[in-house]
Amino acid sequence: MLSAATLPTDAEVWQALHAVTDPEYPLSIVDLGMVYGVRVDGTVASVEITFTSIGCPAIDMIVSDIREAILAVPGVREVRLEIVWSPPWTKHRITDRGRRILAVYGVVA
């Protein structure tokens, strides 16, 4: 049994999500502003996520990557993922760090 000290935290899940990228961009889904919320309750991690477009062909792939990354966080046994479309994603959700990375690739966001 996990003690309170070894239970996963929101911060650890956010950290894990930094490793998940959208295959169309050289950025993590966190820097793209696609993650709307993270909550860890015991060993269950709940994540609210959106996508840059409704018809994004990589949705299944990204969802699979998210699950894999979060399940690798010590103590997480279950991932509950909800896809939401409100508020709609826009480029304004990209973080400052994300903009700097995109600028390196010549993309002005």
Partner 1 sequence: MTTDTKPVFESLEGMSEPCRLGLRNIIMACADTKLLLGYHYGEWTFGTPELEAAVASCSLSQSELGHVRLLQAVLKKHYGDDPERLIDNRPAAEFANVAFLDEQIERWPGFVAMNAIVDLAVARVLHAFRGSSFKPLRMSVEKMLDEERYHIHHGRGWFRALARQGEVTRGSLERQACAALTSVAEWFGPADDEQDAALVGASVKSMANAEIFRALLEDVSEMASGTGVNVAAAQRASLDGWNPATRRVGVGGPNEEILFHLRGSKNEVFKLG
Q: Which residues bind partner 1 (CB under 8 A)?
A: 50, 53-57, 84-90
Nearer to partner 1, 72 or 84 (CB): 84
Considering beta carbons, is residue 25 or 89 the nearer one to partner 1? Answer: 89
Closer residue to partner 1, CB minimum distance, 85 or 105: 85
CB of 92 to partner 1, least distance (A): 12
- Closest C-alpha among 17, 22, 3 to residue 70: 17
- State the minimum distance, in angstroms, from the CB of residue 48 to partner 1: 12
* CB of 104 vs partner 1, minimal distance in Å: 25
Of 84 and 107, nearer to partner 1 (C-beta) is: 84
The 8 Å CB, 24+ separation contacts for 96-105 are 97/31, 98/27, 98/28, 98/31, 98/32, 98/33, 101/26, 101/27, 101/31, 102/25, 102/26, 102/27, 105/26
Question: Shortest Cβ distance from residue 8 to partner 1 (Å)?
Answer: 28
Q: Two tokens at 62? A: 């990204």
